[in-house]
Each structure stands twice: as structure tokens, then as C-alpha cells.
Structure 1
């Protein structure tokens, strides 16, 4: 009986160890890789390098722009952006700060970044997924920041464009 109890305890611990075993990732290396990918992505836009820019977005990726109506899948976003890239000038965002986080299995990462843009400071945030040996942008959100001190001044400017949108969306 003692041997059976010992065997069952050992089997449970061993089997449990396999189930709960975490995937070990080198977050330092992966952060460098993701930083390079995002920096290259922003540089591709600044250089109007259409292929390099859109190759970094997953086929089922999404881009949310600063306008409430800008919710694009990759295909629609690429159609919208193509004329800008074709003119030789898309947009030029320079990273001021970036934070990167990982899922326990190391296959998903999310980030936030502050950007220096023609709109002044913007915030980008997104989700990346590891596809094979590389990372792809699955979801990106670009937001204009509004200093708390001027929110009351900004609201009337937004309202003249967004009140009708709010009503439209409520009716859906």
C-alpha cells in the first residue's frame, strides 16, 4: 500500500509538472526584436515604403486611427493608405517611449508607445502575435492625446463632428 501511495504521489507530481510547465522566453531578446520591428514599421511609413510597412501587419490585422470611423482591417487600411505612400510621403512618427509586455506562453505581446507626430504627442498601442520565427502586428490603435487641462476646450470642437456620429451609432 505504501509503495502504491508513493507511486501515485510521484506520478501526480511528475504528470503535474508536465502540464504546468511554462514556456521560457528570453524577454530581453524578444523586446529588442519587437522594438526593431515597430521602429522599422514607423520608418517604412516615413519613407513611404508601402510593402515594408504592410508586411509587418498580420493578414488578419486591424488598424484603428485617430478618427472614430477609422477601424480598418489590413486590406481596407492598405487601400486607404496607398495613395499617401504613392505620393512618396505617408506619415512620420518618432517613438518617445515604449513599453512591451508578454503572455506567459511568449506567443503574444502587447505594447504602448508615445509618439512625436505632426499631431503632436500621440499614443499607439497594439498587440503582436508570434508567427513562426517572427512577430506580426495583429491590432494597432493610434490615439491623439488631450492634456487634461484643455479637455473642456477640446470637447466643443469634437462635438460638432462627433455628436451626429454618436446618434447614428445609437440607432444601429
Structure 2
């Protein structure tokens, strides 16, 4: 009986160690993913600052979307490259520096979504998006750039954009479901 009790304790010890080890590995992987994704996004922003067209667009997946701050700015990668090329050709596209960033990881560890606050020429902006690990590299699938508006100033902003919003809506085709 004493031998069975000892075997039972050893069995419990192995299970406990195994579960603890798995949790530690998962935490390390999450930290590693956070670091790699953050590095990819920081390098992407630096590529724009340094007008490195190839590095900037190589970070985006071949099937990706960039949503800008203007209501009409929803671009495929090909469209965004065409729009951006003249800026990069001048030697500096735009300079966005992350102030903070939140990264969320799916269960597989191959898809992340994030939000970040950015210091930009427009003031504080928010970037958000989705990256996917493809061939051991993190690629941007979807990126949205938004101008942040303090709640106390929202009525001024609504008034300032009212005319343009009205023109935009009148020129849009209705959605078909």
C-alpha cells in the first residue's frame, strides 16, 4: 500500500511539473510573439519615415488592406502602393511613432490583432489591424489609421466635417445585401 501511495505522489508530481512547464512555455511564446509583432510594426513605421518603399510594402501581405483617415481611403496593397509611391520617392513618406500598443494573440499563435497610439504630424492617431504569420514572418493583412478626437471636441469636429460627409454620402452607391 505504501508503494502505491509513493507511486501516486510521483505521478502527481510529474503531472504538476508537466502542467507548469506547459504554462511557462505558453507565456514565453506570448512574449516572443509580442516582441516580434511589435518589432515588425516598429520597423514598418520606420520604413515610412526613412522612405524605404520596399521594406514598407514587404511587411504587408500580398492580399492586404490599408484604411486611411479619409472616408474614401480603403486601399488594396496595389492601390496603396500607387498612392504612396510619390511620397516615398520624395525621400520621406510619413513619420509615425508608437506611443503604446496592445497585441492580442489567437489560440494558434499565427494571427494577432492590435491597437496602437501613434505620434504623427496629425497629432495623436490610432492604428489598429491584423497580422498573420506567413513563412515565419509577420505580415500585415489589415491596417486602419484613425485620427483621435477628444470627447470634449467632438461637436466641433462633427461640424467641421459635416459638408464633406454629406457630399461623400450623396456620391456613394447604396449597399446591396
TM-score category, normalised to shorter length: 0.7 to 0.9
Corresponding position of 2:63: 60
Residue number among 161, 166, 171 corresponding to 2:164 in the alignment: 161
Shift of 1:167: 2.4
1:48-104 deviations in Å (ceiling 9; x for gaps): 000000000000011000001000000000000000000001000010010000111
Corresponding position of 2:89: 86
**Unaligned regions of 5+ residues in structure 2, if any?**
1-25
Q: Equivalent residue of 1:48, what SS?
A: coil
Runs (4+) of structure 1 exceeding 6 A deviation are none
Residue number among 35, 38, 41 corresponding to 1:38 in the alignment: 41
Mean CA deviation greater in 115-124 or 159-168: 159-168
Map 1:3-14; keep pairs closer than 5 Å.
Answer: none
Map 1:60-139; keep pairs closer than 5 Å.
Answer: 60-139=63-142
TM-score by length of 2: 0.81
TM-score by length of 1: 0.84
**Unaligned regions of 5+ residues in structure 1, if any?**
1-23
1:97-151 deviations in Å (ceiling 9; x for gaps): 1000011111110000000000000000000011021110000000000110011
How well do the aligned residues superpose, as a CA RMSD in angstroms? 1.5
Q: Equivalent residue of 1:76, what SS?
A: helix
